[in-house]
Amino acid sequence: MSGPLSSQYVIFRVGAEEFGLPIAQVSSIIRHEIATPVPRAPDMVEGVINLRGRVVPIVSLSRKLFGSDPVITVASRIVIAESSNGPVGLVVDAAHEVATILDDDVRPAPEAALVAETAEAFRGVVQMEGRLVILLELDKALPRADYAATGTTEAGEDEAHV
């Protein structure tokens, strides 16, 4: 008989909040770098970077979740995650641990405290060593219309040659 089911998460901080993303979706964590702006991109998209030959859109979680600009420090990182639409870089204040979380410990996010746009972005919350960590659903936190279309027009023509 096997024990309780668990998953590993990369834990990172954005502002005063801690978030977790399944480690299976994280391909790397890199130092923050300035992204090349993309014309007419949504506000939360900082631009794109070239990462080992791949053009990766860079998204500010601070802008997406809190409506504020990120404060870039030496601890700032870009979490490169694989979404269903390809790689995306998430600007975070710090990425500081990998944690094993039991599935039974995950509680639903309190819907009364969330607005509709962010409610579906959260898989749930978990108590870890006296602190709450919000578990993200990457594909729902970053809908395709918000970042994957940054390089194309509505007609599907290339707009940004990087």
> Residues with Cβ < 8 Å from 74, sequence gap 6 or more?
none
What is the reported pLDDT for 143?
55
> What topology does CATH give the domain 6-151?
OB fold (Dihydrolipoamide Acetyltransferase, E2P) (2.40.50)
Tens digit of each residue's pLDDT (9 = 90 or more) over 45-79:
999 999 999 999 999 999 988 889 999 999 999 99
What is the reported pLDDT for 54?
93
Q: For the whole model, what pTM was predicted?
A: 0.82
Chain-wide mean pLDDT for the chain? 84
Q: What percent of the chain has pLDDT over 70?
A: 80
Beta strand 6-14 pairing with 94-102: antiparallel
